[in-house]
Chains A and B, each alone.
Chain A
Amino acid sequence: MSWYLRRKVLPPAVTVLLILAAWIAVTANGLVPDYVIPAPRAVLESLIATWPTRLASATWLTFSETVIGVLLGVAVAVVVVIISGYLPVIGSAMTPLLIASQAIPVIVIGPLLTIALGYGMAPKVIVVALLCFFPVALNLLAGIRSVDARLIDTLRSLHATRHGLFWRVRLPYAAPRGFAGLRVSVTFAPVAAVFAEYTGSTDGIGYLMLQAIPRMQTDFVFAQVIVLTVMSAVLLATVIGLERLVCPWNKPTEGTITL
């Protein structure tokens, strides 16, 4: 067995198998009623049965809201960082605003946006974007500000202008940090979309969950949780792949979780 399999694949695989075994043990003996924790088999059957009829289309909708929201959040973050790169005063002026935007609970923003914009995709996209914006913008801002002063001085002596320093030095230096923020963002972005759907929707995983929970269709709820987990994992893997493509010089930091 190769080193990679032994050290990287085997431990998480064993963990998953142990959890699965405990899950089967608990449900098979009737220790817990199946409307509280359904058996893995029931969850799988629910997933297969509902996928073609309802779950696939709901998944696609929630996934679209998530992706559009993430893209919007990242775009706004990059624009904010570029503006504050040229006008540091604006960057400093906006920092309290950035923090305030995160202090307003999504529980409040979600319903307000639904009132304002209706039951369509728009409020969900905005909630996801709001949540994704923050880690990306904050990491990028920290990145462009933390370039070594001696390096900046050196490059200024090699004819670098303010403009050149921003695009050739500060932004590339900050890019891996921006990706670190994005890894955090995309991990909880699907959950943000689901929450926004809770506050008012006609389709999507959040809508299906709201239907299933009062009917105690716990197996269906668990099936949706699995779908959400896979969605987060796919998004995270995509971001990590993108990071390797865009920042190939960057070695993943020690202790960083990679797939």
Chain B
Amino acid sequence: MAIDALAASSASAITITGLGYRYPKADRNVLGGLQLQVPVGQHVALIGRSGCGKSTLLSLIAGLHQPTTGAISVLGHDDPAGRLACCAIMPQGDSLLPWLNLLDNVAIGLRNRGVQRQPARARAHATLNQWGLADWEQERPAALSGGMRQRAALARALLADKPILLADEPLGALDAITRAEIQQWLRATIIGSSATLIMVTHDVDEALLLSHRVVLLAEPAPGEPVSTAASWSGWFADDRPRELLLGDPAFATVRRQILESFAGSGAGPANPGEGR
């Protein structure tokens, strides 16, 4: 179904116009008037201060919330159910089911779709094997490291075969070294996936390394309703290893520009490099 819609629409995967959301209980507006267009297959990294509505934006795209103002179209679908049908969510933190082993966790999207146990496991096994996790596929998540669990969560999301992947700080729970390893691994892995990726992160390096485009969501200043979204080109398409990119002066320049914009994007001290 989603694939038909893909062909029918133009090359735009996500079209957001004049988007605003008011938290029902907090009496607070975010994303005032956001405009964003994401072409099919593009990776977009969303950065911004805590509370500027990054995670809310993912929920809105996925159809879990309805916008207060403006409109979202995901592969031609404006309705919440249609949007949810196009998106796979990879949430912050640990979301594997603790009572299932790795294999059944990764296969759950296929099982939910009605695929029989054996073929579903076979596909999950193929992915785990390719990603070097096959030796642990009979273990429950509690027996695995944080990095393994995040890789399994990504495998689970990709095996749902959705055209759009929404990741909310997918590496936020990892220590710095594991995080660096997974960043490099992700660059090599998701290059083969045709999915459109929207990723929320607090880490500017990560945003640049894993995306085609980095979008800064600015918190609206008091009395100013519209947030401005600045954006830069990401370095995902550059296939040099992570360490080389981090050492490239051009990379460092973009990084500095983003951090400066970040500092000017709202009140309070800028602390964009923090883990969460």
A interface residues with partner B (beta carbon < 8 Å): 150-151, 153-161, 164, 168-169, 172, 247, 249-251
Chain B's closest residue to A246 (CB) is: B99
A159 to B97 Cα, complex, angstroms: 15
Which among A158, A160, A250, A251 has the greatest number of chain B C-beta atoms within 10 A?
A158
Q: Is the CB of A160 within 8 A of B99?
A: no
Known contacts A151-B91, A164-B112, A249-B142: A157-B162 contact under CB 8 Å: yes
Taken together as a complex, chains A and B put the C-alpha atoms of A162 and B172 apart, in Å, by: 29
A248 to B172, CA, bound (A): 28
Q: Number of contacting residues on B, CB 8 A?
A: 26
Q: Which of A151, A154, A168, A251 has the most CB of B within 10 A?
A: A154
Q: A167: shortest Cβ distance to chain B, in Å?
A: 11
> Given B64, B108, B156, which contacts A153 in the complex, CB threshold below 8 Å?
B64
Instruction: Point out the residues of chain B lying under 8 angstroms from A250, CB to CB.
Output: 98-99
Bound-state Cα–Cα, A160 to B108, Å: 8
Complex: A249 Cα to B156 Cα, angstroms = 20
Instruction: Provide the residues of chain A in CB contact with B215, threshold 8 Å.
Output: none
User: Residue B157 at the A interface, CB < 8 A?
Assistant: yes
Chain A residue at smallest Cβ distance from B156: A158
**Are B98 and A161 neighbours in the complex by a CB distance under 8 Å?**
no
Query: What distance in Å separates the Cβ of B95 from its nearest Cβ neighbour in chain A?
Result: 5
Q: A150 and B95: CB pair below 8 A? A: yes
Partner pick for A249 among B90, B91, B92, B98, CB 8 A cutoff: B98
Q: In the assembled complex, which residues on chain B have CB atoms less than 8 Å from the CB atom of A153?
A: 59, 62, 64, 89, 91
Complex contact B98–A157 (CB within 8 A): no
Q: What is the distance, in angstroms, from A25's C-beta to the closest C-beta of chain B?
A: 49
Tell me which residues across on chain A come within 8 A of B92, comparing CB atoms.
150
Identify which of residues 106-126 in chain B touch chain A, using a CB-to-CB cut-off of 8 Å: 108-109, 111-113
**With the chains together, A160 CA to B162 CA distance in Å?**
13
Given contacts A157-B87, A157-B160, A158-B89, 19 further A-B contacts (CB under 8 A): A150-B92, A154-B89, A154-B90, A154-B91, A155-B108, A155-B112, A156-B84, A157-B62, A157-B84, A157-B166, A158-B108, A159-B160, A161-B112, A164-B111, A168-B97, A168-B111, A169-B97, A249-B98, A249-B140
